[in-house]
Amino acid sequence: MAEGFPAEIVEVKAKTGVYGEIYQVLCKVLAGPDSGRVIIRNIKGPVKKGMVIVLLETEREAKEIRPRR
């Protein structure tokens, strides 16, 4: 089994978490069965557009954060 699937961060959408430590990003999967697919994921730590991250799975997708009214 593969160690993970590389994905490139296309856009940093929002910050979330109690302290703002979680980023919601759009990332494009570069390899594997879902290659070419763009998904929303939550990532902890400093991130920026163009970074390549390794996802252990590509099936799950985060719900989009909507601002409160």
Strands of the sheet containing 22-29, edge to edge, are 38-44, 22-29, 5-16, 52-55
**Residue 53: pLDDT above 80?**
yes
Select from 3.20.20.70, 3.30.1360.170, 2.40.50.140, 3.30.1130.10 the CATH code of 5-55: 2.40.50.140
Q: What is the pTM of this model?
A: 0.82
Cα 52 to chain center, whole Å?
A: 10
Question: Looking at residue 2, what is its pLDDT?
Answer: 58
Q: How far is CA 3 from the centre of its chain?
A: 17
Instruction: Spell out the domain ranges in the chain.
Output: 5-55
Q: How many residues does the chain have?
A: 69
Q: How far is the C-alpha of 33 from the C-alpha of 11, rounded, in Å?
A: 22
**pLDDT tens readout for residues 29-41:** 999 888 999 999 9
**C-alpha dihedral sign at 56, 62, 30, 32:** positive
Asked whether the predicted pLDDT for residue 55 surpasses 80, the reply is yes
What's the mean pLDDT in 8-25?
91
